[in-house]
Chain A
Amino acid sequence: MSDAGTAMDDSDGSESELMLDPKVQESIGRSLKAHYDDIVNSPVPDKFLVLLAQLEATEHRAVGAPSDERN
């Protein structure tokens, strides 16, 4: 059984007027993962790494250089 299927089983039980067939639940769970993982596995745009590198560099300058040490 997949992780998604297991997680879904927890949610049912008590309040189940409309309980879906486990196979349907599993099928939806797998499609959900397929949708999400497809984006997770796509390449991360460089701009995010550039942005974070800039933020970090700004921080280092602020913390590390009260005197005028620059080259």
Chain B
Amino acid sequence: MSATEFKDGLIKEIPNLRAFAASLSGSMQLADDLVQDTLLKAWGNSEKFEPGTSLRAWLFTILRNTYYSLYRKRGREVQDSEGTYAERMATHGNQESHLDLADFRKALAKLPEEQREVLIMVGATGLSYEETAEICGVAIGTIKSRVNRARTKLAELLSIGSLDDLGPDRKSAAAMQRVGSEIVGL
């Protein structure tokens, strides 16, 4: 793989790296520092990447290791002093869905890290359970139970634990439904 091909591959993954880094660290500013470190490390270790395997999974592994070794503590400090990105971040999308998204992000930020990261990887990034298990260095069964616990906890935090709670009179549930249908409608 030439340097240019590798570079183009990295560029394509930057949006996903930022989204994963923000989900992990809870801060967009930290996320961008984390992505920069990840790109530098990836470039310096490009010969270790096996062409034909998932570049995303490889980069997520680097990003995650960097986060846990260097950023985790900083993340907490930034959140304490500035609040999470959920409260500050400008979002795309329209005004209405912005509020709903903010609620969801606050709940997401309350999950234990080990649950949050797998929920994001499995539920949003397009990585498989197998890839997620490999990135986290645990068994697939562990990933599955973490995902289950994460979803249960989220439902609890968002007060949508039962079918009845999804009724139209429940504001947060209705809001979530609305966010969902906008995305599906894309």
Contacts and interface: CB of A to CB of B under 8 A. Distances in A.
A6 B81 CA distance: 39
B152 A20 contact: yes
A28 B155 contact: yes
Given A24-B166, A41-B92, A55 B151 contact: no
Contacts, number: 147
B179 to A, nearest CB: 5
A24 B161 contact: yes
Contacts of B11: 48-49, 52
Interface residues of B, number: 61
Interface in A4-27: 4, 7-8, 10-12, 15-16, 18, 20-21, 23-27
B148 A15 contact: yes
Interface in A29-48: 29-42, 44-45, 47-48
Contact of A35 (B10, B15, B35, B105): B105
B122 A11 contact: yes
B65 to A, nearest CB: 19
A18 to B, nearest CB: 5
Contacts of A56: 3-4, 7
Interface residues of A, number: 45
A51 B36 CA distance: 8
B7 A55 contact: yes
B95 interface: no
B184 A35 contact: no
B92 A42 contact: yes
B63 interface: no
20 contacts: A4-B123, A12-B148, A15-B144, A21-B163, A24-B166, A27-B160, A27-B166, A27-B176, A30-B180, A31-B101, A31-B176, A31-B180, A32-B123, A34-B104, A36-B19, A40-B15, A42-B18, A48-B39, A52-B10, A52-B39
Interface of B: 3-4, 7, 10-11, 14-16, 18-19, 22-23, 28, 32, 35-36, 39-40, 43, 91-93, 97, 100-101, 104-105, 108, 119-120, 122-126, 129, 141, 144-145, 147-148, 151-152, 154-155, 158, 160-163, 165-166, 173, 176-177, 179-184
